[in-house]
Structure 1
Amino acid sequence: MRLLTKTLTVISMLGGLTAGTQVLAEPFKVGVCYDLSKAYTFATPQVSQAALDLAKLINKKGGIGGEPVEVIVRDHGNEPQRGIECYSRLSREGVFVFDTLSTPVSLAILPRAMEDGRILMQSLVGRGDAVDGTVFDWVYPIGPTYWGQAANDVAYIKQLHDGDLSDVKVGFVYFDYPFGQEPIEILQTLSEKEGFELELYPVPLPGSDQAGVWSKVRRDKPDHVIVWMLGGAHVVASKEMQRNRIPMEKYISVNWLNEVDIANIGNEAAIGLKRGTNVVGGQDVALRQEMITELYDKGEGSGPLEKTEDVFYNTGLAMYSIVFEAARRAAEAEGLPITAQSYKAALETLEDYDANGLMAPITVTAEDHGGGGKTRIEMWDGETWVPQTDWISEYSDVVWDVVKESSSKYGE
């Protein structure tokens, strides 16, 4: 079968799904070891619900190549040791594709996955240099790393200043732990390259006290503020910005900002706020509509309907569309059962794959396990998110220089 194009429906892309196909007893299993109880509960319920829904939909249509799929969800509480236990237990049950949605847990599992020859999907978390497939051959951070996302934010700011950043001051407000610290090296590199002034504003966890940070932002008067925080910390930041009379238009968030955050900030108060994203938000996405028709209208959804109205649900659909599309390609290319090796090879055939317009197009190769790192900037207009850029992947040479420098030290 020739490569599928983005004009096909996602379910066809996950394809060869024929109703009435004989379903095998042993499913293709995906291990979803997530934090469902502590730090990341603002996103993990929606993402895991989307994964479960997608598996249900595929199985209703006969599975992949006649083989059912199974998503196994376990809680690791964002604790590396519990994540390792989840990985080890599910490995013994025949799982060889894993996702953690946690940087600390991903970092803990990564050496084991590399040694064991199991796939670690690492979208939007984990080591930024793991996009280097020549070093991290079993790790696939498909989608934008935080390095690439921050670089695209700088490219957007440069666009706003007619290509000249020499007189621009950029603030970086970030959680003072690995997730928040991740973009600093790229921002510092780009500051030297483009000549803008970079001010760093660390925020202590859990982000409930930001008064001192935003008072300093008020005094320093940066032209733009890139923000690497999560969940309710965005709401706290917005209140401090209002208190300090800092325009919301200056705020450019990491992708982890959703409709719940906007509602808590207030639709009107959030006008002008921006975020980077690699997933289309909103409820009119084709695959989400398929879920409503085939599952939720029939009382077969994997969780509350309102969770499907969140951009993080769409994020889950995007992530697991990739997971299952690779499984379909593996079954088509090398037959059943799908193995870790056939699955790995299939991942590296993804070219301009966008799940029928659900996300930024990705192209995965043996060298680039990130898929190209495209994002776009969106702005809240009081009712919806309005794209401010096309899907872009800028400063890729700078990002890859840092990737190569970092990945070369792995194992030292």
Structure 2
Amino acid sequence: MKRILIKYLVATGLGLAASGMAHAQQEPIKLALCYDLTKAYGFVTPQFAQAARDYAKIVNQKGGIEGHPVEILVQDHGNEPQRGIECYEKMKREGAITYDFMSTPVSRALIPRMMDDKRVMIQAITGRGDAINGEVFKWIFALGPTYWGQVANDIQYIKDQAKGNIKGKRIAYVYPDYPFGQEPIGVLKTLAEKEGFELFLAPHPLPGNDQAAVWTQIRRFNPDWVISWNLSNMHVVAAREMKRNGIPIDKYISVNWFNEVDINNIGPDNAKGIKRGTNVVGGQDHPLIQQIIKDLYDKNQGSGDRKHLNDIYYNTGLAIYTIVFEGARLAVKQGGWPLTPEKMKKGLESIKNFDAGGLMAPITVTAKDHGGGGKTRVDMWDGKKWVSQTDWIAAYQDVIQQIVEKESAEFAKTLK
């Protein structure tokens, strides 16, 4: 595994000190993480920040990115757009080169401002699905699968289970009734019309602790499958309601926001058969995570609680920031120092078939495609571990592209 990690670091150029003036080598690359650490997304953001900081430490131990150390700046915005704007302005003054808000409402509020400022937003997995259109969203990088792409891949999985025909199948979509949960609805409606399946929309109010009424409605609908855009404890509530209503849990396919904590809260045996979409590999076996354990946590130098290393959210945050670091490496290598927003943009748009040594689905980012391909897979909990049910796929790309073009064209009309 160590050889694999070294090969990965050498291949990417991370950790290899660049030649040049000592003064230039000492200047850091600052990456801003304006996260909701206290309210709606507190179940995931600490792991993301921890992973980014750990990766920065590993890379800095090896000499930084082309000789420049990486500094991770973290601040809470409480999932409030105004506080997100304040965090952005503060981080801009501090010299951040990228900005990550990890919140659909906050990122949506900041997109026009950042587009006008010509600053790079990292909008990985969350936010606007049409932001993959780099020709319109020139400064927004929707790295990894969007919610649109992910839900399309879920439908493809269901279609594969039905041997290619889901006409007449009944699919319920359960979700919290706010922007995050509403994001995939347009894609689902389009695919329902295209494939001929019956779609039942089942919204429930935040915070999602009371889902009794919606699951009664789902029971009456008698679905063949349930696609869930729930978060955190909402999954535990959903599992309890499914059991109460006699709906087999193996019909449940979750959005990627479903982790090992949720499994333990449902009960490993009770959760057997449940499925989730993902764009990263889980567990601690990956060489990079093993190196982080050896070089940081075994030496009491980790950036957070060691238990998070066995959490899919940690792996997801780590995967995202390997992409960002790779973009920064390419930016400095291609454009030299100082690193500017324009150079960072071009660096990210130069990423080709990058998977961080097998940590995630490979992505290729271009000036036209700021998403990277939108690949996910479906994993199933077998009672003890997650088992892959598919290869990495990006389904219904024609449908996704049509919706992207339509939505992004509407957004383009609002630009100055």
- Quick check: 1:33 aligned with 2:31? no
1:17 aligns with 2:18: no
Contact 2:17 2:65 in 1 (8 A): no
What's the % identity of the aligned pairs?
57
Q: Is contact 1:378–1:386 with CA below 8 Å preserved after alignment?
A: yes
The Cα of 1:356 is off from its aligned counterpart by: 0.4
* Contact 1:172–1:199 under 8 Å retained in 2: yes
SS at match of 1:282: coil
Give distance in 1, aligned partners of 2:102 and 2:319. Answer: 14
Contact kept? 2:235, 2:258, Cα under 8 Å: yes
Aligned residues of 2:250 and 2:275 also touching (Cα < 8 A) = yes
**Larger CA deviation: 257-266 vs 12-21:** 12-21
Measured in 2, the distance between the counterparts of 1:326 and 1:397 equals: 27
Which letter maps to 2:15? Answer: L
Could you tell me which residue of structure 1 aligns to residue 284 of structure 2? 283
* TM score, norm. by length of structure 1: 0.96
The SS at the match of 1:364 is coil
After TM superposition, give the deviation of residue 14 of structure 1 in Å: 4.5
Whether 2:240 is the aligned partner of 1:239: answer yes
Question: Superposed, which structure 2 residues align to 1:50-89 within 5 Å?
Answer: 50-89=51-90
Q: Tell me the CA shift for residue 329 of structure 1.
A: 1.1
Q: Alpha-carbon deviation of 1:20?
A: 11
Structure 2 equivalent of residue 387 of structure 1 = 388
Describe how 1:172-191 pairs up with structure 2 within 5 A.
172-191=173-192
Q: Is the 8 A contact 2:284 2:310 kept in 1?
A: yes
Deviation by residue 1:344-390 (Cα, 9 ceiling, x = unmatched): 11111111110000000101111110001000001000011111110
The separation in 1 between residues aligned to 2:372 and 2:18, in whole angstroms, is 35
* Aligned residue identity for 1:400: Q
Give yes or no for contact 2:125–2:142 (8 Å, CA) kept in 1.
yes
Question: Hey, what's the Cα distance between the residues in 2 that align with 1:263 and 1:126?
Answer: 28
Instruction: State the alpha-carbon separation in 2 of the partners of residues 20 and 106 from structure 1.
Output: 34
Q: CA deviation at 1:9?
A: 3.9
In 2 relative to 1, CA 54–14 (structure 1 residues): closer, same or farther, beyond 3 Å?
Answer: farther
Q: 1:13-412 residue pairs with structure 2 within 5 A? A: 13-18=11-16, 24-410=25-411, 411-412=413-414
Provide the residue aligned with 1:3 in structure 2.
Answer: none
How much does 1:235 deviate?
0.3
1:340 Cα deviation (Å)? 1.1
Q: Secondary structure at the residue paired with 1:33?
A: strand
Contact preservation (8 Å) 2:14, 2:326: no
CA distance in 2, matches of 1:47, 1:192: 37
SS at match of 1:408: helix
1:14 and 1:64 in contact (8 A); partners too: no
Pair 1:328–1:196, CA change in 2 (3 A): same
SS in 2 for 1:409: helix
**1:19–1:60: 8 Å Cα contact kept in structure 2?**
no
SS where residue 228 of structure 2 aligns?
strand
Q: Which runs of 5+ in 2 are unaligned?
A: none
Bigger drift between 248-257 and 210-219 goes to 210-219
Residues 193-239 of structure 1, C-alpha deviations (whole Å, 9 max, x = no match)? 00000001001100000011111111110100000010000000000
Q: Which contiguous aligned blocks of 4+ residues in structure 1 show a shift greater than 6 angstroms?
A: none
Give the distance between the partners of 1:247 and 1:130, measured in 2 at CA.
Answer: 36
Q: Write the distance in 1 (CA, Å) between the matches of 2:35 and 2:333.
A: 30
Q: Give the partner amino acid of 2:242.
A: M
Residue 226 of structure 1: SS of its match in structure 2? strand
**How far apart are the structure 2 equivalents of 1:126 and 1:360?**
19
Q: CA deviation at 1:240?
A: 0.5
Distance in 1 of aligned mates of 2:330 and 2:240: 48
CA distance in 2, matches of 1:230, 1:220: 23
Per-residue deviation, 1:339: 1.3
Partners of 1:14 and 1:324 within 8 A in 2:
no
The answer to whether the 8 A contact 1:103-1:179 is kept is yes
Q: CA deviation at 1:10?
A: 3.7
Structure 1 residue 282, shift from structure 2 partner: 0.8
How far apart, CA to CA, are the structure 1 residues paired with 2:163 and 2:65? 49
Q: CA deviation at 1:138?
A: 0.3
Task: Say if 1:310 and 1:401 are closer, same or farther in 2 by CA, change over 3 A.
Answer: same
Code of the aligned partner of 2:51: A
Is the 2:203–2:214 contact (alpha carbons within 8 Å) kept by the matching residues of 1?
yes
C-alpha deviations, 1:262-319, integer Å up to 9, x for none?
A: 0000000000100000011111111111100111111110011111110100001100
CA–CA distance in structure 1, aligned partners of residues 14 and 221 of structure 2 = 58
Equivalent pairs, count: 407
The TM-score with structure 2 as length reference comes to 0.95
CA distance in 1, matches of 2:354, 2:18: 28
Query: Tell me, what secondary structure is at the counterpart of 2:149?
Result: helix
Farther-moved stretch of structure 1 (194-203 vs 24-33): 24-33
Letter in 2 for 1:115: D
Shift in CA distance, 10/316, structure 1 to aligned 2, threshold 3 Å? farther
Q: 1:379 aligns to what SS in structure 2?
A: strand
Superposed displacement of residue 13, structure 1 = 4.3
Residue 410 of structure 2: SS of its match in structure 1?
Answer: coil
